[in-house]
Structure 1
Amino acid sequence: VWVAIADVAAYVRPGGALDREARDKANSVYFPDGVEPMLPERLSNGLCSLREGENRACMAVRMVFDSQGRKRSHKFVRGLMRSAAKLAYEQAQDAIDGRPDDKAGPLLEPILKPLWAAYLTMKKGREARSPLAIESSERRIVIGEDGKVASITPRPSLEAHKLIEEMMIQANVCAAETLEAKRTPLIYRIHDAPSPEKLDSLAEFLGSIQVNWSKGEAARTDRFNRLLDLTREGPNAEIVNEVVLRTQMQAHYSTDNIGHFGLNLDRYAHFTSPIRRYADLIVHRALVSALGLNLPGGPDGLSDWDISHMKATAEEITHAERRAMAAERDATDRYVAAFLADRVGATFLGRITGVTRFGLFIRLAETGADGLIPISNLGDEFFIHDEKMHALIGERSGARWPLGMSVEVRLREATPITGGLLFEMLSEPAAPDPTAPRPRLGIRRKAGRPPLPRQGGKHRRR
């Protein structure tokens, strides 16, 4: 398997103006209506874009796998590549599924089928490794020619996506392994295991839906995957997936390696997106230095400054990534609120995806939009927030609003300028749990309207 990546290091040299701006931005930011690129467009969409039929500088890794998908060897090279065709994921998938178009058809036998055969072999190794199999529920916002939201649809999850993902993951592993072997400084992408506190909270919640989860066992990805498989076909599948996601820590960049829990890998470094992530550019430079791959015209590997500031760079690009994620989430929320603004008063089906002391977060089934029902709108009694059970429980009746419950709501307010959505509950609460103790302290129903907080954990990056 060859994975070839645009050679950004050939154009963005250490210490130059392009380099300083790229480090400051740290990553590209993706909005529903466009992208704020880390690099100038002439690079990101031009010289560093692997265009169809044109020679482009690249950094490539050749990987050899055995019949069980275990990587046996790899080698990095620097060179030129010419892309045979620019295919959308859907085009490639359709061709493999027996529906090739005029562009993909000629590539089916010589390129696409061997590519898929390689992936199916690699997939055996992935399944043996058992990385976290949390399902994503991201939505695609389509912007019309008038600049307004035309539609909001689920993002498809195709085998073609998984093929590219696994090949890129393996290329990233190769980068980390090579740099460690060469004793070259690098920035890892690390992901810690869930904390004991989060695991205890998960066990308490699973107990409330009669799913066993031993508190004493260590966190392992295969254990989470068995839980997801066990509940996948049941009524709690979506919410168990959500709670398992919230149990995980956030991945970040570091010069100290602790491995990547979610991918179940001992070492991992971002290599495959130097156009849009500064971490990857640093890894490319480190490979240039470690393997002696400098191009004529001046050194383009790691500079002394890169090495001495690598820890600070890892911290700064982690902060910038969090900033970008917040900006992307805010923009998405505002576009969704604008899309729903003319549907105030309409009713929707949804699910409780967050339970707090001030109300319930609801995610709509139709659009994936998230909004709040303040606790003051839930009935004429006091409510207590049971953190362990992830539920609001009526002090007098014992009626419950638990995490994951399917509900019908009415849209009361949609505020595009803030991205806030307020709902009104139309469903009845769940019946009291006879095995649960009755709460003693409640939160008053008319406690005033709270601000609209952000619900974290919706968007994650590996």
Structure 2
Amino acid sequence: MSGRSKKGHDKSGPVASDFRPSREQLLAFINENPDQAGKREIARAFGLKGPDRVWLKDTLRALEDEGLLERKAKKLVRPGGLPHVVVLDIFGRGSDGELLARPSETRDDNGPAPLVAIRMPRGAKGRAPGVGERVLAKVFPVEDAQGPAYTARVLKIIDKRRESVLGVVRVIADGSWRLEPVERRQAEYAIDADHRGDASPGDLVEAEPISAGRYGLPRAKVTRALGRMGDEKSASLIAIHAHEIPHIFPESVLEEAETAAGFDTGPREDWRNLPLITIDPSDARDHDDAVHAEPDEDERNPGGVIVTVAIADVAAYVRPDSAMDREAQKRGNSVYFPDRVVPMLPERISNDLCSLREGEDRPALAVRMVFAADGRKLRHTFHRIVMRSAAKLSYSQAQTAIDGAPDEIAKPHLETVLKPLWEGYRILKRGRESRQPLELDLPERRILLKEDGTVDRVFVPERLDAHKLIEECMIQANVAAAETLEAKRQKLVYRIHDSPSLAKQEALREFLQTIGISLARGAQLRPKAFNAILERVEGTENDVLVNEVVLRSQSQAAYETDNIGHFGLNLHRYAHFTSPIRRYADLIVHRALIAALGLGKGGITQAEEDRMAEVAALISAAERRAMAAERDTVDRLVAAHLSGRIGEVFEGRVAGVTKAGLFVKLPDYAADGFVPVSTLGDDYYIYDEASQALAGERSGRGYRLADPVEIRLAEVVPLAGSMRFEMLTEPKPLPGTKLSFHKAKGKGRVGQKRRPGQRAGRRK
């Protein structure tokens, strides 16, 4: 028994005994073991059993309520803590020569990103990372509050970040050249005559900062001209370069795609006689999913339905560690802009060999799902098949056919394919209604461009039953994939969505109180609790406001190897399976299914399984990068579209409230601008976080999130995608805010205090 406790625990760790650990000991263990800080692991580490485990659960919940812990996946971490594996950007060196980095992903709570120190161990093999590079690393929290919050061990150097500036070349009055950076926070650069390269005035360029004298503007050297600013693709081009999105396929990848041979036919089932059809947007170029439904003839399942979903078998062409695979993993996903797509895979694969084209033989992975009449899934099976799509329909074609006006393409399939699909959807819908996923009503707007690439109009696409049908079929296929892999004990990448943190729940609770709605405290919230609130405000003046605030209370979805379920969809097991052409996560799941079910070549390898947690972190970061690039492109397009309308008045809605002012969204243009607090009037405005409002100190009147307002366009910077507005709508009473409560009680000033000599904001 030497060196061991009587319960078999190492003496170097927490020793199992009759005592319960203190709160400080629990926090210390969680801080030092971020990858082992689940309730079960903590109980095991301290030797807690029986009633002690109940005590532990209550203690951990109390620490969460006090804001000392928060839950991420199945683990408990200190607030603002990083996941154990994270993507870092190295930006400099510390006083001891160690590399300093910050997470490349933005935080959900918009707080400051923690500082990470990278200390390279002696004798480390391989090339050491340097300043300006992006790395995948394991991070470990440290107790020293004076230094970086974490240390890190580099797992992989992802890519070298360009030490360059993206901007537009301008010529000023004296004939000298300037570089106007895309990022407004960057300084303007001077460009000498011998450093202009092939650029012309008005070009979007990459430039490299060079040494400069003590006086005057910093100088830069043009390294590459990217195109004309104002050309049809300049907005997306800026986003691609600013967010470092890989968009040019290496020759080795293109060569591998062009020489790809036909798919392996064995072992595959021949399903070419099953009338699977694709239903996609009218402008879709690739088709990675096909669907079919039919009544279940089994007398033990009266009123039931069999739904089949077939997905393009990308794994038949893109093999682990091939050139295409490495590039796809680097990209993580396809990125969609209003004027172009940056695909994850070469077009030879995505738009040709793997696209489920009408009337052509294609390899696929299919799942056959049997549902009871009430929407419950009874069973499912996966198959590796050869299929032949019976028809290619758009959403509007399919919907119009069901509504009684089929065109020549849809008409032959109306009775045999479309009507059974809609009957299947009615059954799946019953299951969805019973499950009660989160039902936010926040329609997404799309930008339609003219031929010259400028904005034609912004519109909200009609939400058809055809969209909902395909969406629910895909959700059920994703669930089936996760369930099958779990049953086979096969490691996989889950699509997870955590429940709102306690801090966000409390903020939402405080806000709802300001409009007379209560939210239960302490209970484990489920989506139906939010749905009840959304139903209560539907059609009222608070409808948009509450939908916005509930959305902001939600966590961000991600890819993880540890499953916590999907809160928004209210599902216990969920994995992306249905879009391997455009998402690398789905390709991993396909390979896992092939290996787990013995479906032939192209299955997941041991090396892939060993790196799965790292890959999950990489593709989560790539997804957020894509979202930011898509959002920035829309902002620049709309800003350019409105640049000639300065001084005009628009109808808007308050989309964000900060101490510095208001963000106002223009619903007709899917973009927003800023109203500085200093321009709001002669009152002193106080930020009320709970009410999401700016309230005048003297009047108690102000502006709240989602308020409809009238604004004047005062300034536009198309290059940065930013707009500044002047508020025309007068402030209104704000019942329920802290300021109004204190004024009603005669308690005077509350909240933010004015600094000595500070003047109240006045309208300019």
- Asked if 1:194 corresponds to 2:500, the answer is yes
Letter in 1 for 2:628: A
Paired residues for 1:99-138 under 5 Å: 99-138=405-444
Q: Residue in 1 aligned with 2:684? A: 382
Paired residues for 1:219-298 under 5 Å: 219-294=525-600
Helix, strand or coil: the match of 2:393?
Answer: coil
Larger relative strand fraction:
2
Task: State the alpha-carbon separation in 2 of the partners of residues 58 and 198 from structure 1.
Answer: 42
Say which one has the larger Rg: 2
CA spacing shift, 1:285–1:437, aligned 2, 3 Å: same
RMSD over aligned Cα, in angstroms? 1.6
TM-score of the superposition, structure 2-length normalised?
Answer: 0.57
- Cα contact 1:375–1:445 (8 A) shared by 2: no
- Asked if 1:436 corresponds to 2:729, the answer is no
Task: State the alpha-carbon separation in 2 of the partners of residues 157 and 432 from structure 1.
Answer: 35
Letter in 2 for 1:193: S
Provide, for residues 302-350 of structure 1, a one-character-per-residue CA deviation record: whole Å limited to 9, x for no partner. Answer: 0121111001001111111111111111111111112222222211111
Moved more, 102-111 or 266-275: 102-111
- Cα contact 1:362–1:370 (8 A) shared by 2: yes
- Cα contact 1:53–1:85 (8 A) shared by 2: yes
Deviation of residue 280 (structure 1)? 0.3
Moved more, 167-176 or 365-374: 365-374
Task: State the alpha-carbon separation in 2 of the partners of residues 149 and 218 from structure 1.
Answer: 45
Q: Residue in 1 aligned with 2:523? A: 217
Paired residues for 1:73-88 under 5 Å: 73-88=379-394
- Asked if 1:354 corresponds to 2:659, the answer is no
Task: State the alpha-carbon separation in 1 of the partners of residues 759 and 351 from structure 2.
Answer: 54
Provide, for residues 117-153 of structure 1, a one-character-per-residue CA deviation record: whole Å limited to 9, x for no partner. Answer: 0010011001000000012321111111111111111
Larger relative helix fraction:
1
- Cα contact 2:680–2:762 (8 A) shared by 1: no
Correspondent of 2:697 among 395, 400, 417: 395
CA spacing shift, 1:63–1:33, aligned 2, 3 Å: same
- Asked if 1:168 corresponds to 2:470, the answer is no
Q: Residue in 2 aligned with 1:21? A: 327
Q: Residue in 1 aligned with 2:464? A: 158
Q: Residue in 2 aligned with 1:426? A: 728
Helix, strand or coil: the match of 1:249?
Answer: coil
TM-score of the superposition, structure 1-length normalised?
Answer: 0.93
- Asked if 1:371 corresponds to 2:371, the answer is no
Task: State the alpha-carbon separation in 2 of the partners of residues 309 and 373 from structure 1.
Answer: 47
- Asked if 1:416 corresponds to 2:718, the answer is yes
Q: Residue in 1 aligned with 2:343? A: 37
Q: Residue in 1 aligned with 2:368? A: 62
Letter in 2 for 1:365: P
Helix, strand or coil: the match of 1:14?
Answer: coil
Deviation of residue 432 (structure 1)? 4.9
Helix, strand or coil: the match of 1:436?
Answer: helix
Task: State the alpha-carbon separation in 2 of the partners of residues 333 and 203 from structure 1.
Answer: 32
Paired residues for 1:338-353 under 5 Å: 338-353=640-655
CA spacing shift, 1:394–1:108, aligned 2, 3 Å: same
Correspondent of 2:637 among 315, 324, 335: 335
Gaps of 5+ in 2: 1-306, 744-748
CA spacing shift, 1:200–1:113, aligned 2, 3 Å: same
Provide, for residues 31-55 of structure 1, a one-character-per-residue CA deviation record: whole Å limited to 9, x for no partner. Answer: 1101000000111111111111111
Gaps of 5+ in 1: 450-462
State the aligned residue count. Answer: 445
Helix, strand or coil: the match of 1:333?
Answer: helix
> Percent same amino acid at aligned positions?
57
- Asked if 1:97 corresponds to 2:403, the answer is yes
Letter in 2 for 1:61: V
| 4+ residue runs over 4 A deviation | 442-449
Letter in 1 for 2:742: P
Provide, for residues 251-276 of structure 1, a one-character-per-residue CA deviation record: whole Å limited to 9, x for no partner. Answer: 10000001111111111000000000
- Cα contact 1:382–1:442 (8 A) shared by 2: no
Provide, for residues 361-407 of structure 1, a one-character-per-residue CA deviation record: whole Å limited to 9, x for no partner. Answer: 11113223211111111001221111111111111221121112111
Letter in 2 for 1:157: R
Deviation of residue 442 (structure 1)? 5.0
CA spacing shift, 1:447–1:43, aligned 2, 3 Å: farther
Q: Residue in 1 aligned with 2:454? A: 148
Of structures 1 and 2, the one with the larger relative CO (CA 8 A, separation 6+) is 1
Helix, strand or coil: the match of 2:387?
Answer: strand
Deviation of residue 226 (structure 1)? 0.8
Correspondent of 1:311 among 592, 597, 613: 613
